Structure 1
Amino acid sequence: MNKYKKSAVTAVVAGVVALGGVVATASAANAAGSSTCTVNIKDATYKTTTSVRLRKGPSTSYTSLGLLTTGTKFYGTCKYDPSYGIGVSDKVWTYGKVTSGANTGKWGWVYSSYLKRV
């Protein structure tokens, strides 16, 4: 977002709040695209098997939110499998929350091949 658009958005939000309005924001889970999930998972605690990027969406084309080092704990809530229901895929991504390390508390996507269930 360029500085002029950012200034305009800031001014609008400040005006709404000053007039007693409420500005709604997306929750951390929704902002990262959890609606992309194709499979819900339960009680899925993982550790990363190597250093891997946490991403905004289930693809390397999405922005990196940070690097998870080997052994970082990750709590998965769902998966994205592009071939769900039609075959086996090696492009499965897991969505969840980082629970240890430098990125603790961040929500995002991790390529599933780099996660080991604990």
Structure 2
Amino acid sequence: MNKFKKSAVTAVVAGAVALGGVVATATAASAVGSSKCTVNITNATYKTTTTVKLRTGPSTGYTALGSLSTGTKFYGTCKYDPSYGIGVSNEVWTYGKVTSGANTGKWGWVYSSYLKRA
């Protein structure tokens, strides 16, 4: 950021704070871990059916932690289904731990349509 832009941003922020306002900043979606789970699952060992992103939360709006190649093993512990208890959903995500490949040991979310039971 050049010196002029930095000074202008600083002045706007200082003015907003001096007038009792707040300054909102845009950030990437924060990691949610298992807090978004709606359905617990047990003994759920999967393999990815295609290359898929491991994410910090259950949507493409969350940060990708890495890519899981086809056949990567994934141990699921719970799922996020926004329509749980009220109908069928196409937006189901699985939370768990990567157990093979380059991202072994990482925890995150995978879109459930790209997982099959191992």
Q: TM-score range with shorter-chain normalisation?
A: 0.7 to 0.9
- The residue that corresponds to 2:78 in the other structure is 78
- The residue that corresponds to 2:51 in the other structure is 51
Offset of residue 32 of structure 1: 4.3
What is the number of equivalent residue pairs in this alignment? 88
Q: Deviations over 1:79-113 (max 9, x none)?
A: 00000000000000000000000000000000000
Structure 2: state its 5+ residue gaps: 1-30
State the identity %.
84
Partner of 2:113, secondary structure, is: helix
Q: TM (normalized to structure 1)?
A: 0.73
- The residue that corresponds to 1:68 in the other structure is 68
Distance 1:107 1:33 in 2: 8
Point out 4+ residue stretches in structure 1 off by more than 4 angstroms.
Answer: none
Structure 1: state its 5+ residue gaps: 1-30
Distance 2:73 2:34 in 1: 19
- Tell me how large the CA RMSD over aligned residues is: 0.8
- The residue that corresponds to 1:3 in the other structure is none
Partner of 1:61, secondary structure, is: coil
Compare CA radii of gyration and give the structure with the larger one.
Answer: 2
Partner of 2:74, secondary structure, is: strand
Partner of 1:35, secondary structure, is: helix
Aligned pair in 2 of structure 1 residues 32, 106: CA closer, same or farther (>3 Å)? farther
Offset of residue 36 of structure 1: 0.6
- The residue that corresponds to 1:115 in the other structure is 115
